[in-house]
Amino acid sequence: MNPRLERIKEKIKNGQPVIGVFVELADSSISEIVGYSGCDFAWIDSEHGMMDRREIYHHVMAAQSAGCCAFVRVPGVEYYQIKNTLDMGPDGIIFPFVNTPEIARTAVQACTYPQDGGKRGLGPLRAIKYGVDDEMTWVQTAKDEVWKIFQIECMEAVENLDAIAATEGVHSLFVGPGDLGMSNFDKTPEEKAAITEQVQRRVGELAKKHGLYAGSCAGMNKASCYELLGRGIHWMTIAQDARIFSDTLKKAVQDINE
């Protein structure tokens, strides 16, 4: 049983927002700060983020040591793209652009050992505390020790949402407003916002139906987080590391120079 995920589940059960930060900068102290600040998870981004394998490894350790979950967004769904990350012992793997049920099944297979129908290769290292835990005991429980998270971020995924949500082995669906908006590039900002809200509510409904956890992006304030809770969203990113720094610094410089 993963104690960090259990804490998140307890917050969700109690109707509390589960919050975290996009981490894209390479220095792992960022993920440590995220954990020490009281966030529930660090979203460690190896799709867009500026980090290599060793840096991802250090981010995972830093986040977990500081008390929060380490969710790693990987660049794709093929098993060879993520097996090294899985062996680092993260709490969740986030798959971008899960647009079809076929992609969804491939993602689950990449995270799952053969006895559970997957293709994951045997070689856990940090995931079994470097051998302190029994390897074969871990193999028997691993499929639920790491959340498999599918991003819903284009209209093709929305069209296939029911089938994606029904994928055996998935734990969470996450609505990505940015790319969802890009896939509706011909719409006005108001229309894009309305579409995002509709998709969030639909994901919330499907999460309830299938026993999943729903995620999306909120603002850095209580009202925004609770607005998403009202749409059926359980967990949410509230900021990005570099933008926290740049926005705060920019405002300070402007205030000083006025």
Active site amino acids: 48
Hunting for tokens 């610094």 — which residue is that? 249
Q: Residue 24 and residue 46: Cα distance in Å, rounded? A: 8
Which H/E stretch holds residue 93?
strand 92-95
Please write down the long-range contacts of 177-182, taking CB distance under 8 Å and 24 or more positions apart.
177/216, 177/217, 178/153, 178/217, 179/97, 179/153, 179/154, 180/152, 180/153, 180/154, 180/155, 182/154
- Least Cα distance to 39 among 242, 245, 237 occurs for 237
Per the CB < 8 A criterion, the answer to whether 35 and 42 are in contact is yes
Tokens representing 14 are 């109690």
Query: Cα angle at 178 between 175 and 181, to 5 degrees?
Result: 95
- Least Cα distance to 49 among 240, 246, 215 occurs for 240
